[in-house]
A and B are shown apart, each in its own frame.
Chain A
Amino acid sequence: MKIKKGISLIDQHDKNGFWGGKFGGNFIPETLKKPVEDLTILFQKLRKDKKFIRERDYYFKNWVGAPTPFIKLENLTNHLDGAQIWTKVVSEANGGAHKIYNATVHSLIAKRAGKKYIVGDTGAGYAGKMLSMAAKKFGLKCKIFMGAKDIKRQKPNCDAIKKNGAEIVPVYTGSQTLVDAVSECMRHWVSNCDTTHMAVGSTVGPNIFVKICGWSTSQISRELLIQIKDEFGKIPKKIKLLNCVGGGSSSFGFWNEFMHYNKKQIEFIGIEAGGPKKSKKHAAPLTYGSKIGILHGAAQYVNQNAEGQIEETESISAGLDYPGVSPLHCFLKDTKRARYTAASDEEALNAYKIVTKYENLNPSLEPSHAFAEAIKMAPRLNKDTIIIVNSCGDAQKDKDILRQRLGV
């Protein structure tokens, strides 16, 4: 298994939709074959359509707010007294997280496809919030599927979704989290695919959804590449790009433009959700060696039992609380281009405490997992090493959990 040069990673799948011959694909009911095929053809066309690209760039710049800041965390760097710590504050994007890129692109595609309705899943509520914002902006009716457990723990985002005029459909099946929300959203699409566009909230799902999402979030690394060159005059010799990984949309977008750099120069480190320290449950299929299975239409490493039933996950961070992971990340793991590790709930909370103590930054619980790893590794590295953490979400949505767990 090898990454090809000169071709975007999202396009490095075979004709059946598999990366590395085994990750991804289209394990979908017959009813969805046609809508998935239509969407594939449309997206292929739009990617090459200069007018569409101009439209995307226009909204990214003027509505999303590109580029998001790239800053050095001076105080944290001094405190850790090792590698330099930088961050890309993607949470400065309109709405407060990277989910806006995928939501904007899907809404633009839905318009082109002549669909009146758009539906999506959400865990932390950011994918849902952004989709509801974009739907409102582009005149689409919007439904968001969300696990009942997540509705309770991410109330601020739910309020925002409703304020944007979208309907939240609570999902009560299974663990009542993201995995069930995605299933229910797909089921809704099976029944309504003639009038409705579906936006899968991360780089997961049938092949085309992985591609559209990865293509959208790649805006992050497009900006970062320029910002690094501006800041340092050239690409420094040792960079580590740290990003939390749930489904894997922000990390893929954060890394994509650096794919072909030598990993000794630009290393990718993905941080999964290890769950509570005392619990055996986790949301870290890559770190803990889960087996390949099929979830939501794609083959991937996924937490499951020996029979193939998907296992329940546990994480303080709703956005990472997913038993599977993008086929793109499975491919990056097996080709060894990226490495993956996990941070526990407690480590993420502690990282949040440290970051907010030293910096004027408010990372949500998802990127706090990545900061936990940065805090762990920085003191052991020299000052020439540049650690960049993607601060992909704002902690506003986590205020209830933070108050409860940290008393802040």
Chain B
Amino acid sequence: MSISPISLAFKKSRIEKRPALLTYTVAGDNTKKKSLELLNSISKYVDICELGFPHNTPIGDGGQIQTSSYRAINNGIKMKDIFQIVKNFKKNKNGKPLILMGYYNMIYQYGENKFLIKCKKVGVNGLIVVDLPWPDNKKFAKKCKKKSITFVQLLSPTTSKKRMKSIIGDSHEMLYYISMLSTTGGKLKVSPKKILKNYIAIKKINRSKNIVIGFGITEKTIASLKKADGLVVGSALCKKISESLKKRQNPVTNIVRMVSRLKNKIS
């Protein structure tokens, strides 16, 4: 079996002795065109792009991502536009692996099978579904696997050891560790040292899995978590977009600068 683009991205970062850099932005924030332009422009620095398909009743997201999501929805973003953005992004020769992230109701309404066929067709490499936890996600994760789409399981500080082992056992090549008890974009309320201690304990369960850390990662905190396989920055970017719009600046320029700084800090 050929190695997946996601595994390859981690492999490449490992050779460069740094964590993979993952970004999260919301599809259609602040317009369809801009969000594609954004992905294309940051692709140079980023190893894996996460793209949110926005939902208007998110129970796991903090203020920054909510603002971005509402902005995108108000601008009329639809699933078909989101798939179009992915398709166009993947045409780009620098196109990086792309993970779609969102809430289950959107997939449920689209139809699980139809959704996955479409994902496959446009080139989605992975999926994160915030409110479809293990073991409820087992069937869906298997369907993803059949389509060679990575289903990314989530782990949290509240996940028991026993549960972690089961989740990791059922996981694909990548997992996502939530750094602290928080919605996205919360202030890092746990010391990086403690986060890494938990992280290393999880890694010990199965070293072959690529485990990224997300939640509370900003320009300030990213360097302190360099030991991880990968780090996700999301809310900080959404916040930057909001600030740029407020100041009537081009969000793409500002985001590219920020992502390049983030990359420098972990290189």
Could you tell me which residues of chain A, from 72 to 99, have a CB within 8 Å of some CB in chain B? none
Query: A297 to B183, alpha carbons, bound, how many Å?
Result: 15
Contact B181 A194 (CB under 8 A): yes
Within 8 Å by CB of B56, from A191, A192, A310, lies A310
A16 interface contact, C-beta 8 A: yes
Given A191-B181, A293-B108; A183-B58 close (CB under 8 Å)? yes
A173 interface contact, C-beta 8 A: yes
B83 interface contact, C-beta 8 A: no
Query: A294 to B66, alpha carbons, bound, how many Å?
Result: 18
B163 interface contact, C-beta 8 A: yes
0/1 string, B153-189, CB within 8 A of A gives 1: 0111111100100000000000000100111001000
Residues of A within 8 A of B130 (CB): 29
A116 interface contact, C-beta 8 A: no
Within 8 Å by CB of A190, from B109, B159, B182, lies B182
Contact A29 B78 (CB under 8 A): no
B45 interface contact, C-beta 8 A: no
Could you tell me which residues of chain A, from 1 to 36, have a CB within 8 Å of some CB in chain B? 16, 25-35
A-B contact pairs, 28 of them (CB 8 A): A27-B136, A28-B133, A29-B59, A29-B130, A29-B156, A30-B134, A30-B158, A30-B178, A31-B60, A31-B158, A33-B156, A34-B159, A34-B163, A174-B57, A187-B183, A190-B181, A190-B182, A190-B183, A191-B186, A194-B158, A293-B105, A295-B57, A307-B78, A307-B109, A307-B110, A309-B55, A309-B56, A309-B73
Question: Nearest B residue to A323 by beta-carbon distance?
Answer: B57
Give the interface centre of A32, A179, A304 by most chain B CB atoms within 10 Å.
A32
Residues of A within 8 A of B182 (CB): 190-191
Residues of B within 8 A of A294 (CB): 103-105, 108, 131
B24 interface contact, C-beta 8 A: no
Contact A295 B105 (CB under 8 A): yes
Given A174-B57, A186-B59, A307-B79; A297-B157 close (CB under 8 Å)? no
Residues of A within 8 A of B110 (CB): 307-308
Contact B159 A193 (CB under 8 A): no
Question: Nearest A residue to B57 by beta-carbon distance?
Answer: A310
B151 interface contact, C-beta 8 A: no
Total interface residues on B, CB under 8 Å, equals 39
B223 interface contact, C-beta 8 A: no
Query: A307 to B103, alpha carbons, bound, how many Å?
Result: 12
Residues of B within 8 A of A193 (CB): 158, 181
Total interface residues on A, CB under 8 Å, equals 35
Query: A101 to B61, alpha carbons, bound, how many Å?
Result: 31
Question: Nearest B residue to A310 by beta-carbon distance?
Answer: B57
Contact A34 B160 (CB under 8 A): yes
Residues of B within 8 A of A296 (CB): 57, 59
Give the interface centre of A35, A304, A308 by most chain B CB atoms within 10 Å.
A308
Contact B59 A308 (CB under 8 A): no
Contact A33 B158 (CB under 8 A): yes
B132 interface contact, C-beta 8 A: yes
Residues of A within 8 A of B181 (CB): 31, 190-194
Contact A16 B136 (CB under 8 A): yes
Given A190-B183, A307-B78, A307-B79; A31-B157 close (CB under 8 Å)? yes
A306 interface contact, C-beta 8 A: yes
Query: A191 to B155, alpha carbons, bound, how many Å?
Result: 15
Give the interface centre of B131, B133, B156, B158 by most chain A CB atoms within 10 Å.
B158
Give the interface centre of B56, B109, B160 by most chain A CB atoms within 10 Å.
B56
Residues of B within 8 A of A295 (CB): 57, 105
Could you tell me which residues of chain B, from 30 to 67, have a CB within 8 Å of some CB in chain A? 55-62, 66
Contact B109 A306 (CB under 8 A): yes
Query: A27 to B132, alpha carbons, bound, how many Å?
Result: 5
Residues of B within 8 A of A35 (CB): 158
Contact A173 B109 (CB under 8 A): no
Given A194-B181, A308-B106; A33-B56 close (CB under 8 Å)? no
Could you tell me which residues of chain B, from 98 to 154, have a CB within 8 Å of some CB in chain A? 103-106, 108-110, 130-134, 136, 154
Question: Nearest A residue to B167 by beta-carbon distance?
Answer: A30
Question: Nearest B residue to A175 by beta-carbon distance?
Answer: B56
Residues of B within 8 A of A308 (CB): 55, 105-106, 108-110
